[in-house]
């Protein structure tokens, strides 16, 4: 990162602000000393224009629809890499050699054996509880099993949570479906997850599709859940507590929870006789809280490159599995209508990663309520890589400021006088 200086005038005083320029030429004003020198803070509700950190993990250009993990294009990785390779790349910055990948996968396999007694606690969760609630509780609960310091960014701590995540998620699906838990066949993270979640060993088409989907979800720079993980971790909370924060942030329908909402929306349109225009009109009506789920993104003002890949994959997977699903044709028509409507065009609203993913998950056989857990399974390497980067760089505790708008100082009134 190179630096130069920009001078601004505030209350008649010249303030010098360093300019920080990233490797892809993104520019930022470093305002760390602004308040000390001028009394001003900056205000940016929703962080629409605020960089909370610098990071060497993921590059995203929302205007041009570009997404790179550690310098590699998302389409290149989705086409050629495996999910565990991408997890290694995100964590350690380089693609692994054959030996490095084998050691990493072996370590994740060792850590996929959940601590003794843990599965009984997972079974005790009410089966009807939402899978994201079971995931947040389960991952936080894991922290009880380790006596060592789990707030340090060691490989041991990182591999523990990465290895445990898939079996915890598979057990959640089984609990949700009131099925007994099964053990892992030991054939790799994605294969094992599918074999444990369902009653049979998975078809190659399904393993490949799932692997690709997990890669596409693996990281997305400082989104709501990742920023939460960094924020929670900045207090030196342990890795399980930090990731649990991210899981809860992901659950919301404006973030990862959208994949469940999209499918529910498509099913509702189907049940309503395929009346797409009615739903587009509802989405445009400012008096109606309905939004077109899976559309729009804080950063992308162009096609989400992940949505393009997933749309192609949806066609491919459904064909290979011989599944005919009306929701896919409804989704395509909905996209076509929205993209030619001035409301969506003027606001740069395009399909995001969640628009087509649920159709593939449904074709594989996942219950709709599991969709956001699948997003979390993909995102765990990104969360952990950001958590590691934040701890390795010894970033300070996250603590934003505010502009106070409440009552000014007043005297306590006794209750008898109120
Ligand atoms: N349907 C209808 N209108 C929309 C939609 C939508 N899906 N998304 C945005 N808009 C409109 C807003 O009403 C607003 O209109 P206005 O300027 O007339 O007031 C304008 O577009 C800008 O929207 P904001 O909400 O200000 O944009 P923001 O960046 O804050 O929100 C978000 C982004 C949350 C993703 C939003 O587009 C949305 O709610 N989308 C639907 C939910 C969704 O798919 N979430 C998943 C995002 S991807 C992910 O997190 C993995």
For ligand 1, atom 4, the nearest C-alpha belongs to 291
Tell me how far apart the alpha carbons of residues 186 and 389 are, in angstroms, rounded to a whole number: 30
For ligand 1, atom 45, the nearest C-alpha belongs to 254
CA 369 to chain centre: 16
Predicted pLDDT of residue 240: 98
Which ligand 1 atom is at minimum distance from the Cα of 304? 48
pLDDT above 60 for 306: yes
Predicted pLDDT of residue 1: 55
Cα(295) to ligand 1 centroid in Å equals 7
Q: What are the structure tokens assigned to 355, written together?
A: 């628009």
Cα(28) to ligand 1 centroid in Å equals 25
Higher-confidence position of 324 and 236: 236
Helices (H), 12-53: 34-38
pLDDT band at 149 (very low <50, low <70, confident <90, very high): very high
Cα(127) to ligand 1 centroid in Å equals 33
Q: Considering the chain, what percentage of its residues have pLDDT values greater than 70?
A: 99
pLDDT band at 131 (very low <50, low <70, confident <90, very high): very high
Strand partners, 72: 69
Q: Sheet harboring 27-29: ordered strands across?
A: 2-10, 13-21, 27-29
Q: Which of 165-174, 322-331, 409-418 has the lowest mean pLDDT?
A: 322-331
Q: What's the whole-number mean pLDDT along residues 154-168?
A: 98
Question: By C-alpha distance, which of 359, 383, 384, 368 is closest to 209?
Answer: 359
For ligand 1, atom 27, the nearest C-alpha belongs to 298
Q: What's the whole-number mean pLDDT along residues 150-173?
A: 98
pTM score of the predicted model = 0.95
Please state whether beta strands 27-29 and 58-61 pair in parallel, antiparallel, or not at all (unpaired): unpaired
Q: Considering the chain, what percentage of its residues have pLDDT values greater than 90?
A: 94
pLDDT above 80 for 259: yes
Cα(101) to ligand 1 centroid in Å equals 39
Q: What's the whole-number mean pLDDT along residues 1-28?
A: 91
Residue to mutate (ligand 1; options 48, 65, 296, 379; most atoms within 8 A of CB): 296
Spatial contact of 24 and 66, defined as CB atoms under 8 Å apart: no
pLDDT above 70 for 108: yes
pLDDT tens-digit series, residues 203-240: 999 999 999 999 999 999 999 999 999 999 999 999 99
Q: Where in the sequence numbering do the catalytic residues fall?
A: 297, 354
Q: What's the whole-number mean pLDDT along residues 120-131?
A: 97
pLDDT tens-digit series, residues 268-279: 999 999 999 999
Q: What's the whole-number mean pLDDT along residues 126-140?
A: 97
Predicted pLDDT of residue 303: 86
pLDDT above 90 for 84: yes
Return the residue matching tokens 């949505």.
Answer: 307
Share the mean pLDDT of the chain. 96
pLDDT band at 302 (very low <50, low <70, confident <90, very high): confident
Give the three-class secondary structure for 409: coil
For ligand 1, atom 29, the nearest C-alpha belongs to 298
Higher-confidence position of 2 and 134: 134
Q: What secondary structure does DSSP assign to 216-284, as a single string?
A: HHS--SS-HHHHHHHHHHTTT--HHHHHHHHHHHHHSTTTTTHHHHHHHHHHHHHHTTS-HHHHHHHHH
pLDDT tens-digit series, residues 330-372: 999 999 999 999 999 999 999 999 999 999 999 999 999 999 9
Tell me how far apart the alpha carbons of residues 59 and 63 are, in angstroms, rounded to a whole number: 12
Q: How many residues does the chain have?
A: 418
pLDDT tens-digit series, residues 377-397: 999 999 999 999 999 999 999
Cα(82) to ligand 1 centroid in Å equals 32
For ligand 1, atom 9, the nearest C-alpha belongs to 296
Name residues contacting ligand 1 (CB within 6 A).
254-256, 258, 283, 291-298, 347, 349, 352-354
């Amino acid at each position: 990162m190179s630096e130069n200086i920009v001078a601004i005038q505030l209350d008649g005083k010249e303030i010098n602000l360093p300019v920080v320029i990233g490797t892809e030429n993104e520019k930022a004003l470093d305002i760390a000393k602004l308040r000390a020198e001028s009394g001003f803070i900056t205000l940016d509700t929703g962080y629409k224009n605020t960089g909370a950190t610098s990071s060497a993990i993921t590059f995203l250009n929302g205007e041009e629809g570009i997404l790179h993990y550690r310098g590699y294009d998302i389409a290149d990785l989705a086409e050629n890499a495996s999910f565990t390779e991408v997890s290694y790349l995100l964590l350690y910055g380089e693609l692994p050699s054959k030996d490095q990948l084998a050691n990493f996968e072996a370590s994740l396999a060792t850590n996929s054996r959940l601590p003794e007694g843990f599965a009984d606690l997972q079974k005790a969760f009410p089966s009807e509880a939402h899978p994201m609630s079971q995931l947040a509780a389960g991952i936080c609960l894991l922290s009880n099993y380790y006596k060592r310091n789990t707030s340090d960014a060691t490989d041991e701590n990182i591999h523990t949570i990465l290895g445990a995540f898939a079996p915890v998620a598979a057990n959640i699906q089984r609990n949700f479906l009131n099925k007994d838990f099964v053990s892992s066949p030991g054939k790799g993270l994605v294969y094992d997850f599918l074999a444990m979640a369902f009653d049979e060993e998975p078809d190659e088409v399904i393993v490949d599709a799932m692997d690709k989907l997990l890669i596409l979800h693996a990281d997305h720079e400082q989104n709501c859940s990742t920023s939460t993980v960094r924020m929670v971790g900045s207090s030196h909370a342990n890795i399980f507590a930090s990731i649990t924060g991210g899981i809860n942030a992901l659950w919301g329908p404006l973030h990862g929870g959208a994949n469940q909402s999209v499918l529910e929306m498509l099913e509702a349109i189907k049940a309503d006789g395929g009346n797409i225009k009615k739903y587009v009109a509802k989405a445009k009506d400012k008096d109606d809280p309905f939004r077109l789920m899976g559309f729009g993104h804080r950063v992308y003002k162009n096609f989400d490159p992940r949505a393009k890949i997933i749309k192609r994959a949806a066609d491919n997977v459904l064909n290979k599995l011989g599944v005919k699903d009306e929701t896919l044709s409804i989704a395509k028509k909905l996209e076509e209508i929205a993209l030619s409507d001035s409301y969506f065009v003027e606001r740069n609203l395009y399909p995001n990663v969640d628009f087509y993913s649920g159709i593939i998950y449904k074709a594989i056989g996942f219950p709709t309520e599991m969709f956001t857990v699948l997003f979390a399974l993909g995102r765990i390497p990104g969360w952990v890589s950001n958590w590691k980067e934040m701890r390795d760089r010894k970033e300070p505790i996250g603590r934003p400021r505010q502009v106070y708008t409440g009552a000014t100082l007043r005297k306590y009134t006794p209750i008898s006088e109120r």
